[in-house]
């Protein structure tokens, strides 16, 4: 018993190894401003809310997806690109390459720039930033994957934030950081 306590004491008092992936500072607080819309699937039609926002996009759509199998959302992204909206997609590598229903290849075939996140066990972000450079841009986030199951089968939440430029900038900066670490989809396909 004494040895167990001695071993525990050694572990507890060992100097902590520096963790380079984490910034020890607290997150940046953002003032509450604008509006917050909350939807809960399957009771609320979260996909319809996303589609309304995508159809109103004027300049840009930045997507970060773990899973992407929703045909209506894929069609809306392709349609937005065809009317001149800049659409950029980040996706989880494993879910994209192993997922039999992933529509990420369809988005890439439609000419939408796609990059795959490769540095994480799971690139689990589920965000869409619409018109991020405009004051009335929109952040869409939550547990909601861009899938049929998220819409109809799962208990999910979706939060839509409007009218909060500092919050939008924080999400866009994070999106850009992840994009800088990601690999272009075409290069990943050739290596796979």
Task: Specify the 3-state DSSP secondary structure of 50.
Answer: helix
60 alpha carbon, distance to own chain's centre: 15
Contact 137, 168 (CB under 8 A): yes
104 alpha carbon, distance to own chain's centre: 13
DSSP secondary-structure letter at 85? -
Please identify every residue annotated as catalytic. 124, 126, 131
**21 CB burial (10 A radius; 0-12, 13-18, 19+):** exposed
């Amino acid at each position: 018993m004494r040895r167990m306590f001695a071993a525990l004491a050694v572990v507890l008092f060992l100097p902590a190894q520096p963790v380079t992936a984490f910034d020890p500072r607290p997150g940046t607080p953002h003032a509450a401003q604008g509006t917050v819309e909350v939807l809960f699937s399957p009771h609320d039609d979260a996909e319809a809310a996303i589609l309304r926002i995508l159809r109103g996009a004027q300049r840009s759509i930045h997507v970060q997806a773990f899973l992407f199998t929703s045909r209506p959302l894929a069609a809306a992204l392709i349609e937005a690109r065809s009317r001149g909206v800049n659409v950029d997609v980040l996706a989880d590598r494993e879910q994209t390459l192993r997922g039999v229903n992933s529509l990420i290849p369809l988005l890439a075939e439609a000419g939408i720039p796609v990059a795959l996140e490769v540095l994480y066990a799971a690139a689990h972000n589920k965000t869409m930033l619409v018109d991020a450079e405009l004051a009335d841009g929109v952040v869409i986030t939550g547990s909601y994957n861009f899938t049929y199951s998220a819409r109809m089968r799962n208990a999910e939440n979706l939060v839509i934030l409007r009218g909060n430029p500092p919050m939008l900038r924080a999400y866009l900066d994070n999106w850009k950081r992840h994009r800088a670490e990601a690999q272009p989809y075409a290069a990943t396909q050739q290596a796979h």
